[in-house]
Amino acid sequence: MKIIYNKIFLEHNTGNHPENKGRLIYFTQLSNSKINYDESILKLVHTKEYVTSVKKHCLRESSLTLDTPVCKKSFQVAVYAANAAIKAAEEKAFALVRPPGHHAGKNFGGGFCLFNNIAIAVQDLLNNGKKVFILDFDLHHGNGTQEIFLDKKNVIYFSLHQSPPCYPGTGLVSENNCINIPLPYGTSDADYINSLEKKLIPILYSFNPDIVAVSAGFDSYYKDKDSLGFGIGFNLTTKSYKKIREILKPHPSFFVLEGGYKPESIKEEVDVFVK
């Protein structure tokens, strides 16, 4: 699987914030992928007013929310990230981007996210007649992705995440086409894989999508445990991610990076999928 990466993603400057450019330190020697710059794709899932608001926050370098700092280049970088997600969908590749996106809804951001990269790519696929299954294995529930796709046809959102207590506090129950699997702090490979086998596999195979879109958050890896505070994290090892790879093997898939705040977590587990 090809990696889509560009040094532009390092220019979203957040200082010492957990979501910082150091997350991609192990990939900075990669060649720069050619990525389109097209602001119009943002309107696939976001309101015009929200896009304008994000642009203004970036120009002023005023945080989008209390937990989501921005700089003057953040808007431009976030647009490239969304375009990289579309490129990943086209090429069945792994978009190694930042800022992440799954907490951004139609008219809100937060949780380190400006625009919802995976949702933009998925809506583009839906507009082209594709049937899409979204798998989100980030530690946190993708409240923005759920808000965007709840009750929409030809798409299922499936999320395994810690809850409670974990940001954003949503995803406690399933709602129509949004399947939520909340799991406790410290969840092990055995329990996680049990959920994959008993809950993910039947729904995925029954839905039979044209493509699987993956919100790949590696903050569920054991090396990331408690990186955002005590009581936040799972005890997953490479075994769980290899199981996900095995399950997805029969299906065309693409990946977009979400969380993961220890650089080694991202490096070790991206390798599971791109090799």
Predicted pLDDT at 212: 98
Q: Is 242 left (phi over 0), alpha (psi -120 to 50) or beta?
A: alpha
Measured distance CA(211)–CA(101) in Å, rounded: 19
Q: Is 243 left (phi over 0), alpha (psi -120 to 50) or beta?
A: alpha
Measured distance CA(115)–CA(100) in Å, rounded: 8
Predicted pLDDT at 4: 98
Q: Does domain 3-274 have CATH number 1.25.40.10?
A: no
pLDDT in tens, 35-45: 999 999 999 99
Contact predicate 207/131, CB 8 Å: yes
SS3 content of the chain, % helix, strand, coil (to 5): 40, 15, 45
- pLDDT at 253 > cutoff 90: yes
Measured distance CA(211)–CA(123) in Å, rounded: 12
Phi then psi dihedrals of residue 191, to 5 deg: -70, -35
Predicted pLDDT at 215: 98
Whether omega for the bond prior to residue 164 falls within 30 degrees of 0, making it cis, is yes
pLDDT in tens, 146-203: 999 999 999 999 999 999 889 999 999 999 999 999 999 999 999 999 999 999 999 9
pLDDT in tens, 120-144: 999 999 999 999 999 999 999 999 9
**Model pTM score:** 0.97
Measured distance CA(121)–CA(148) in Å, rounded: 12
Catalytic site residue 103? yes
Q: Which pair of structure tokens corresponds to residue 264? A: 């080694």
Secondary element (H or E) of residue 214: strand 211-216
The residues near 131 (Cβ < 8 Å, ≥ 6 apart) are 154, 155, 207, 208, 209, 210, 211
Catalytic residue among 57, 102, 103, 161: 103
Task: Identify the bridge partners of residue 133 per DSSP, sorted by sequence position.
Answer: 156, 212
pLDDT in tens, 61-115: 999 999 999 999 999 999 999 999 999 999 999 999 999 999 999 999 999 999 9
What type of residue sits at position 5? Y
Contact predicate 78/20, CB 8 Å: no
CB atoms within 10 A of CB 150: 13
Q: What is the mean pLDDT of residues 196-212?
A: 98
Predicted pLDDT at 33: 98
Half-sphere CA count of 131, side-chain side, radius 13 A: 10
